[in-house]
Amino acid sequence: MIRLKSCLKIIESIDAQINVLENEIFRYANKHHKREMDILMSCPGIGELSAATLIAEIDDFHDFSSGNKLASWLGIVSNVYQSADKYYNGRITKRGSRLARWILTQVAQAAAKTRNSELKMFFSRKVKKIGFQKALIALARKIVTII
């Protein structure tokens, strides 16, 4: 019983430290990147934590002339193999930030569950054709091109 109380106190102190750090991150992001935070959080599925994480990973969105170049930099585009006149699409390239890809897949899952959304309808169409996992990556790429 004493050991359990000790472990619970440790968990509570770690949770308090996490809350302090999250509040500091959100304060900094809202102070220095207010416009980007507002734009990101207007997209379904993106909350304050995922917006702050994407800003930290991508830094300046103006470095990319289009959404497709940002998607390519993040590594959520498919490999294309070409031999003579035949094209083969492979898996995603996985170049760029691993954390940003993970956050985007989490955002895509949340966006796929929102009601009355264009993104949910897009996801539903894709699931029927290519399956759940590939549709999730396709939705993540669509979200990146939108933001």
- Band (139; pLDDT cuts 50, 70, 90): very high
- pLDDT of 9 reads 95
If we measure between CA atoms, which residue out of 65, 146, 63 comes closest to residue 104? Answer: 146
Given a contact cutoff of 8 angstroms between Cβ atoms, the answer to whether 112 and 119 are in contact is yes
Tens-digit pLDDT profile for residues 69-124: 888 888 888 877 777 788 777 778 788 888 888 999 999 999 998 888 888 899 99
- Tell me which amino acid residue 110 is: A
H or E stretch including 96? none
Would you say the pTM of this structure is higher than 0.75?
Answer: yes
- CB-side neighbour CA atoms (13 Å) of 55: 23
Q: Which residue has the tokens 């102190």?
A: 13
